[in-house]
Amino acid sequence: MSGLADIEYTAVRELRGPLVVVEGVSGVGWDEFATILLDSGERRHGLVLEVDRDLAVVQVLEDTAGMDRTGTRVAFSGTPLRIPVGTGWLGRVCNGRGEPADGGPPVLGGSYAAVGGAPINPVRREPPNEPVLTGVGAVDVLTTLVRGQKLPVFSAAGLPHLELAVQIAAQATCGGEAFAVVFAGMGLTHADAGFVRDGLAARSAARELVLLVNTADDPVIERLLTPRLALTVAEHLAFTEGRHVLVVMTDMTAYAEALREVSAARGEIPARRAYPGYLYSDLASLYERCGRIRGRPGSVTVLPVLTMPAGDITHPVPDLTGYITEGQIVLSAEVHAAGTYPPFDPLASLSRLMRKGTGAGRTRADHPAVAAQLIAALARSRQVRELADLIGRSALSPTDLRHLDLDDAFRSRFLTQGTDENRSLEESLDRAWEVLLTLPRSQLGMIPADLLDTHAPPQNEEPT
C-alpha cells in the first residue's frame, strides 16, 4: 500500500462511525487511497467514498476507534488502492485487508493491480463451456458448475453452507488443468475461521489456495474490501498466469449488511429494507468480474454463498443475486432436518449454463439426459407424496409407489455424502442411474432408447 504523500490535511471536520470527513482538500478523486496518521504514530488506511467541493469522505479500513479530530492527518495518494498480484498469494492466509495472518512476510508480486477492478467487456467474453467438478455428486450431476459461471448457494441460518463451501473449495478440479481457489470469508466467527483454515490446509500446502478471512470482530469496512481483493488476485492468476480459478465468497449477506451500515453512516436515503439503492449495482460489480476472456488463458468462476434471513428467498440479497447470476444452489431446512448432507433441494436448484459444460467430450454423453430425467422424476415424486398425504398410500397406483421409492433412493443412494467425501463424476452418474432404475422403463421417456438399452435391464418394466 502507498506511503504518505507530500501534502497532509489536518482539517478533520467529523469522525462518524467508520468515516472521516476532511475539509479543505483539492485534487482528490473518488476511490482514491488515503493514509491516515495519528498522533501516536499509528498509521491507518482508507478509501475516498465521496468528494464534494473541498470536502472528502474517507472510509477507514481499520475503523475510527481511538482517533480524534485534532490529532489526525490525512494524505491522499492520487491513485486508487492497488495491491501486488502474482503467484506469491498462493498458499498464504491473510486478513480481509490482505495483510498476512499466517506469520509470514507481506505478500509480494511482480506487478500491482487496482482493487476496484471492472466487469469483463461483454464483447471480449468467451462463452463458458467446460465444467468445474466439485466432488459433490448433487452439484456435479444436477447443477453443474461451468468455468466462468457465477452460481450462488442460497442457504439459511443453521444449515451447513460453510461446510459445503469448504468441501467444494477443497475438492474442486478442472480436469487436470492448472487450478487455484481463492476463498474469501466475510464476517466469520473465530471458530468458523479456524474450521475454514483446517479444512483447506491441504490445498493451501499444495499452493493452490489463497485464503482471505474477515472475522465478525474485524472492522466492518474491511468486509467491503475482502471480496474485491479476492477477485483482483483471482483475475491475475487466471488471465495472466493462465490458471482456472474458483472464487468462493461467504457470506455475501454479511457483506450486504456492511454495505448497509456504511450507507447509514453516510446519511444516504435507504431503499428496500434499509439497504442502499445501489445494492444491485454493487453486487453486480463483484459478480460480473468472473468469466473467460477471448484470447487469454484461464477463467474466473464465482461461487457466492449467502444466508437468507428467516429463509426468505425474496429478501433483497438473494433476490438481487438471483437476477445477476446464472442459477442457484438452494439448501433445504427440511432435508437437513432429515439428517441428510448436503441438504440440497434439487427442484429449487438450477444451473442455467449446465448444458454448455456437460455431455460428450466434457463430462459424459448420458449426463444431460440423466440429469433432466432425474429432476422430472423427483418433481413427480413430490406430487405423489402430496397425493399420498391426501388419499393415503394404499390408494396409490404401483407406478406412484415406485416414485415414492425413487424419492427415498435419491436421498439415501445419491444425495447423502460425507463432508470429506470426494465423489467422482463417474460414480455420481452411476448412482443417478441406480436411482432412476427404481422406475419402470416406461417412465424414463426423457432418456434416449440407446442409453436405456445400455443401462436398463429388461425386467425393469411396468409393474402389474
In this prediction, residue 461 carries a pLDDT of: 53
pLDDT tens, residue by residue, 273-297: 999 999 999 999 999 999 999 999 8
Distances (CA, A) of 354 to 98, 240, 359: 34, 26, 10
3-class SS of residue 294: coil
Neighbouring C-beta atoms of residue 126, cutoff 10 Å: 15
Cell 474469501, residue? Answer: 184
Distance between CA 312 and CA 49 in Å, rounded? Answer: 31
> Average pLDDT of the chain?
92
Q: Where does the pLDDT of residue 3 fall: very low under 50, low under 70, confident under 90, or very high at 90 and above?
A: very low
Q: Can you give the pTM of this predicted structure?
A: 0.92
Distance between CA 95 and CA 107 in Å, rounded? Answer: 12
pLDDT tens, residue by residue, 403-462: 999 999 999 999 999 999 999 999 999 999 999 999 999 999 999 999 998 887 665 555
Q: Is the pLDDT of residue 4 over 80?
A: no
User: What angle do helix axes 252-265 and 279-287 make, rounded to 10 degrees?
Assistant: 140
Instruction: Give CA 441 to chain center in angstroms.
Output: 39
Are the beta carbons of 219 and 92 closer than 8 angstroms? no
Q: Is the pLDDT of residue 1 over 70?
A: no
In this prediction, residue 464 carries a pLDDT of: 44
Are the beta carbons of 341 and 419 closer than 8 angstroms? yes
Q: Strand 299-307 relative to strand 153-155: parallel, antiparallel, unpaired?
A: parallel
The alpha-helical segments, DSSP class H, found in 105-200 are 137-142, 161-171, 190-199
pLDDT tens, residue by residue, 353-400: 999 999 999 999 999 999 999 999 999 999 999 999 999 888 999 999
- By CB atoms closer than 10 A (0-12, 13-18, 19+), residue 121 is exposed
- Long-range contacts of residues 9-16, Cβ cutoff 8 Å, at least 24 apart: 9/73, 9/74, 9/75, 9/76, 10/72, 10/73, 10/74, 12/69, 12/70, 12/72, 12/74, 13/55, 13/69, 14/69, 15/64, 15/67, 15/68, 15/69, 16/64, 16/265
Distance between CA 267 and CA 269 in Å, rounded? Answer: 7
In this prediction, residue 117 carries a pLDDT of: 82
Backbone phi, psi, residue 52, to 5°:
-135, 100
Per DSSP, the residues of 303-364 read EEEEE-GGG-TTSHHHHHHHHHSSEEEEB-HHHHHTT-SS-B-TTT-EETTGGGS-STTTS-
- By CB atoms closer than 10 A (0-12, 13-18, 19+), residue 128 is buried
pLDDT tens, residue by residue, 38-89: 988 889 988 898 898 899 999 888 878 888 888 899 999 888 889 999 999 9
In this prediction, residue 418 carries a pLDDT of: 96
